[in-house]
Chain A
Amino acid sequence: MLELASSLFVAAGLVFFVAGTAGLLRFPDALTRLHALTKADNLGLGLLFVGLALRAASWSVAVRLLVVWLLVLFASTTACHLVARAALEARRPPRG
């Protein structure tokens, strides 16, 4: 039962990683691509975390997985902010 639930969560997580990658390739500019990366990865990794935590050998492993998820969220939102700011500045006409 737990095995099945775990596999379903992992599979769902992978669907979001694929969708995020599709968005990265298909979306028209840097800013829309960032949407695909941040949202789909946030959710995909979260689902992966739940799926793997369900079959973790000990609570310590589950806590470590949670910490990984939170650190990735923090890194991805920070990187996203920096890339978005740069993309926006590049788009503006240079001021005379």
Chain B
Amino acid sequence: MSDERRSPSTGRLAARVACYALVWVALTAGDPGSWVIGAPAVLLAALAGVGLSARAPGVALRPRGLVRFVAHFLSRSLSGGVDVARRALDPRLPLSPGLIEHTMRLRPGGPAAVFFVDLVSLLPGTLCAGVEERRVTVHVIDEALPNADELRRLEERVAALFGEELAA
């Protein structure tokens, strides 16, 4: 209890309360009666969040990185969806699957690395099939696609989003 009361975690608690209260307003369209449930739920969620992340380093997203990342994500999602849809509907079923290894330059186990690995499966032609420290096993739908470039570019965008330096 005592080390929960230090000022940094009070600030983090307040930030979480504000953030979750906003989510509650969005979910309930601001219905005042809903706060009977909402207020305790927001408070408990914020307490649980601060408690569970006490040992994890704080995550601060960069606004500029966020804008560029969202733009990148949306455009790559579009092209990934179109690509796989075209292959699925083509009578010849053009696939040339294989496995590649990607050496991750983000800090292994950090929030940016986890985020990156999750995203790999949503972007064109790549699917994450295993992670071991810096080595990421990626299944690709077509070995002729520029898969390594795709992964490198995504990693750079994620690093800029989290403000993390990439290892050489």
Interface residues in chain A, defined as those with a beta carbon under 8 Å from any beta carbon in chain B: 15-16, 19-20, 22-23, 26-29, 31-32, 34-36, 38-40, 42-44, 46, 58-61, 63-64, 67, 73-74, 76-78, 80-81, 84-85, 87-88
B21 at the interface (CB under 8 A from A): no
Measured CB to CB, the nearest residue on chain A to B80 is A39
- Measured in the bound complex, the distance between the Cα atoms of B141 and A64 in whole Å is 33
Q: How far is the CA of A1 from the CA of B128 in the complex (A)?
A: 41
Q: Which of B35-80 contact A (CB under 8 A)?
A: 74, 77-78, 80
Q: Does B109 contact A (CB under 8 A)?
A: no
Contact A39 B84 (CB under 8 A): yes
Beyond A38-B121, A44-B81, 7 additional pairs, beta carbon < 8 A = A28-B95, A39-B77, A39-B123, A42-B77, A61-B29, A81-B129, A84-B121
Binding site for A on B (CB under 8 A): 23, 26-30, 74, 77-78, 80-89, 93, 95, 97, 99, 117-119, 121-125, 127-130, 137, 139, 141
A60 adjacent to B127 (CB under 8 Å)? no
Q: Is the CB of A85 within 8 A of B130?
A: yes
Residue from the list A15, A44, A58, A85 in contact with B29, Cβ < 8 A: A58
* Minimal Cβ-Cβ distance residue in A for B81: A43
Contact B81 A16 (CB under 8 A): yes
Taken together as a complex, chains A and B put the C-alpha atoms of A27 and B141 apart, in Å, by 10
